[in-house]
Chains A and B, each alone.
Chain A
Amino acid sequence: MTPSRLSSAEPPAPADDDHARGEGPLLIEYADLECPYCARANVLLCDLPVRRIFRHFPVVSKHPRARVLAHAAEAAALQDGFWPLHDSLMDDQGRLEDPHLWERCRVLGIDLDRFEADRRSAAVAERVERDFRSGVRAGVMTTPTLFVDGRAYPGVPGEQLLGRLRSRREAD
């Protein structure tokens, strides 16, 4: 039988086109830009000394704008605006309709015409889908899910994990 495309596999190692920031131990995050738990995790992770890799895991039946937002973030990435738009969305998940996205682009200096074309492109959709499918293969079933040292941590990270990540930096 042909191998199933969504059978189990570890989260892929960071690639050049992954969205990464920070320095320290590797932390791979599967998240949904409309998910309030992901917004909470973002607050907890933002000051941690980790190498943070963001991957999209939009769950549309739970968050109707999730995939639209993932595509928007990828379109912004093509103008080096992934993290600014990511942070803008995570800081305010109450205004997510198209006019709100356009206003965010204006504030962030993202070219709107290019953004509008890019966020509807097949390349951007495939980029988001790549992340989502790698998450399914890694067993992600909720957002956020964090991977540290090959182990999955579903949900908002608890103090035990956060403390361990902080102390690893101190031990380095």
Chain B
Amino acid sequence: MIRFDSVSKRYPNGFEALSDLNFEVAPGEMVFLTGHSGAGKSTLMKLIMLMERPTQGQIHVDGRNLNRLSNSQIPFYRRRVGVVFQNHQLLFDRTVFDNVALPLQVTGTSHHEIGKRVRAALDKVGLLDKERMNPITLSGGEQQRVGIARAVVHKPALLLADEPTGNLDPELSAEIMHFFTRFSEFGVTIMIASHDLELLKRMNKRVLGLSQGQLVHDGVIW
């Protein structure tokens, strides 16, 4: 599903965020990405989202070489990917329903279909009764769940999550992880960036460890 071939990313200021990265993630796999802040987790995610372009190497996602995608093709590529942000990036000028509906609105889905899918996504994260509320009135855990609903509402083949449990207590983190595990069971490929070692041990999944832009660990953490 994801393949990195000797990928390097050097920023214009000379900082090398990623150097010569090689790894592969199989379809339907659930992997964690870990490392200290500045190790390159966010850069890696940005490369997959095409928010940045690699300075060297090839990235293949879902059979597509990202280097060959032109800027005008990027939106259509992104519609196959779902993202959960650390700071959830919800819009407080609209309801929970409209926040979750955004990925469907941009693809030109019919109103009827949007209604069905948004409610299905909200149901999955247990927030169906809050659809008319403004996300600003929700708790941190609930906001993150709205973010997850938005990331999966268009049924992406690949789901990226950048520190999805960053500001949450262990109980809420476990709950959020529960959702991800369920999506993984549906066949979605999932990559989650997290520096919570306890969580990584508990989840017992493959972990990619980054340090100073290099891959230093690949496997389950005991």
A and B bind: no
A residues contacting B by CB (< 8 A) are none
